[in-house]
Structure 1
Amino acid sequence: MIKVLLKNKDYIIYNDELLNENIEQCFSADYWKQKNKIIGSAQGRGTTWFVQLLTMQAALRHYRRGGLFGKIISDYYFFTGWDKSRSIQEFHLLDKLSQSGVNVPQPVAAKVSKSGLCYRADLLCEKIANATDLVDILQQRCLSKLEYQSIGAQIKKMHKNQVNHTDLNIHNILLDDQGKVWIIDFDKCFQQQREGWQKGNLERLLRSFHKEVKKRSINWQEGNWDDLMRGYRV
C-alpha cells in the first residue's frame, strides 16, 4: 500500500509492502553503510548506491543537475508543490507502469526535502537483478531478432500507457539473464495524451544506436531496427 509521511519540511511517499526499514533514514547512504547493506554502486550524475532491503535489492539515487548550471547549483530545484517534484513524479510514474504490466523497476520510496523556495530529492527503487544494458551487451554479441522484437513490444506497452520517455536510449534498456526486457530511468518523463511524441521517442532511440556504433563499434546493423519495429507494431 502506498503511504505518505509529512514531517517538518520532508515529504516521503513509500510502499509499506516493500520497505520495512527506517523510513526517515533509508535515503542516507551512511545509514545503509552502518547496517552493512551496501552491495554496490554506480557512477553517473553522482553515485547510485545499491542496497539490500529485506524484500529486494534496491537502487538509491539523489537527484542532481547536469550541465553548466549543475556545477553551480548541483542538487536544488525550484519548489512548486510536492506532487510536482521530480522524485514524487517519477515514483508515481513507475508505480503506474508497474501496475500496468510494463517491465520497469518497482518504486519503493521517494523523498522531497524543502528548503525555502527550493527542494532536494531522492528515490529508492528496485534494482533489476542480473540485468545488463544494451550498450554492454552489444559490445559482446549481437541480439537475436526475437530480442529486438521484445524490446519493441515493451516500448509499445509503455506508449499504450501514454508515457513519454524523454530520454529513451540504449543505456536505459536492459536485458536480464532470463531474456526479459526492462526500461529504466524515468526522471523528467511524463504521461502525454496527444499523438506524435511516440515517434520522437523512437527517433531518439535510433540515434542512440547510431551514436554507440560510432563510439564503441557495437554489434548493430540497420536491419536490426526493422526487427525492433516489428515488435513495436504487433
Structure 2
Amino acid sequence: MKSVTENNQAFWYDEQLLKEPVEKAFDAEYWQQAGKVIGSATGRGTTWFVQTSTIAAALRHYRRGGLFGKLVADSYWFAGWEKTRCYQELQLLKVLREAGVNVPKPIAARATRIGLTYRADLLSEKIANARDLVAILAEAPLSAEMYKKIGQQIRKMHNAQVNHTDLNIHNILIDDQQQVWIIDFDKCYQQSGEDWKQGNLERLKRSFVKEVEKSGIIWCEKDFESLIQS
C-alpha cells in the first residue's frame, strides 16, 4: 500500500488496483465526467459505485450519524494520519483479507486536514451481484447451510480478533455464487480476549429480530442456532 502526504492531505492506495490519479479518485464528479459511475446507494450520505480501470469500486465519504451528526456532519478530531478512520478501516480490511475473511478489497483512502479536524474518504471493492440479508430474507428464507456459512465468516473474523462494532444484517451480503461477505468496518478494530465476541453475536441477533418487526423478513430463532453452531 503506497502512502503519499502532501500539504494538508494524505493518500494511501494499492498501485495494482488504482491506476487513475489518486488525487482525483475521491471526487464523484471525476468519475461522472469519465462516464464511470455505475450506481449509487444512499445511507448517511451517497455511496458512489464506480468502474475503475481494474475493478468496480465503492466510494464512500465518512459521515457522522445520530444527533451529533446533524451538528458536525463529516468532521473528526485530528490526532495523526494513522489514527484517521479511513486509514484504520483500510488497514483492517487488509488484515481481514489476509485472515481469509470475505471482505471488500481495500483500494485507497484519503484524509484531508482542516485545522484541528479532518475529513475522510474510502475507496473499496464493490462486491459484484450481492444483496444484503434484509433484501434476501424479505423474499425467501435461507437454508441452515447458508446460516452456517454466515457463521463461518463471523468465526474467521473473530479468530482474527476483529470486533465488528456494528454487526447487523445490512452489513452481511450474499452474492450470486452463494458466497457470504461482511462489509462496513468503520470504527471497528482488533481487540484481544474473547468476551466481546458474544456481544457481536447478540447485536446481530437483535438486528434479525428488529427486521422481522420492521420489514417482515422471513426468520426464526432456530435459524440463528444454525449460525452460531457453525
Query: Which SS does the other structure have where 1:140 is aligned?
Result: coil
The residue that corresponds to 2:163 in the other structure is: 164
Count how many residue pairs are aligned between Structure 1 and Structure 2: 230
CA distance in 2, matches of 1:224, 1:72: 40
Tell me the secondary structure at the aligned position of residue 167 of structure 1.
Answer: coil
Letter matched to residue 155 of structure 2 = K
Q: How many angstroms apart in 2 are the aligned matches of 1:191 and 1:40?
A: 32
Structure 2 residue 91 is the aligned partner of structure 1 residue 95: no
| Equivalent AA in structure 2 for residue 60 of structure 1 | L
> Displacement, 1:132?
0.4
Once residues 230 and 195 of structure 1 are traced to their aligned partners in structure 2, the CA distance between those partners, rounded to angstroms, is 17
TM-score, with structure 2 as normaliser: 0.99
Letter in 1 for 2:178: G
SS where residue 46 of structure 2 aligns?
Answer: strand
Match of 2:111 in 1: 112
1:209 maps to 208
List runs of 5+ in structure 2 lacking aligned partners.
none
- CA deviation digits over 1:103-124, x for unaligned, max 9? 0000100000001000000000
Q: In percent, how many aligned pairs have the same letter?
A: 59
Q: Distance in 2 between matches of 1:211 and 1:72?
A: 28
Once the two structures are superposed, residues 18-75 of structure 1 have per-residue CA deviations (whole angstroms, 9 ceiling, x without a partner) of 0000110100001101111000000001100000011110000000111121111111
2:5 corresponds in structure 1 to 6
Structure 1 residues without counterparts, runs of 5 or longer = none
Partner of 1:145 in structure 2?
A: 144
Aligned mates of 1:164, 1:24 — CA distance in 2: 31
- Name 1:33's counterpart in structure 2: 32
Kindly report which structure 2 residues correspond to 1:47-196, keeping only aligned pairs within 5 A, or say none: 47-196=46-195
Task: Give the superposition deviation at 1:87.
Answer: 0.5
Distance 1:73 1:224 in 2: 40
**In structure 2, what is the Cα distance between the partners aligned to 1:225 and 1:115?**
45
Q: Which amino acid aligns with 2:71?
A: I
C-alpha distance in 1, partners of 2:142/2:32? 38
SS at match of 1:41: strand
Structure 1 runs of 4+ aligned residues shifted over 4 Å read none
CA offsets, 1:118-165, max 9 Å, x none?
A: 000000000000000000000000100110000000000000000000
Query: Partners in 2 of 1:48 and 1:175 — Cα distance?
Result: 19
For 2:64 and 2:29, the matched residues in 1 are separated by 22
- Shift of residue 194 of structure 1? 2.0
Q: Partners in 2 of 1:26 and 1:170 — Cα distance?
A: 29
Matched residues in 2 for 1:192 and 1:55: separation? Answer: 33
- What TM-score, normalized to structure 1? 0.97
Q: Which amino acid aligns with 1:38?
A: V
SS in 2 for 1:50: strand
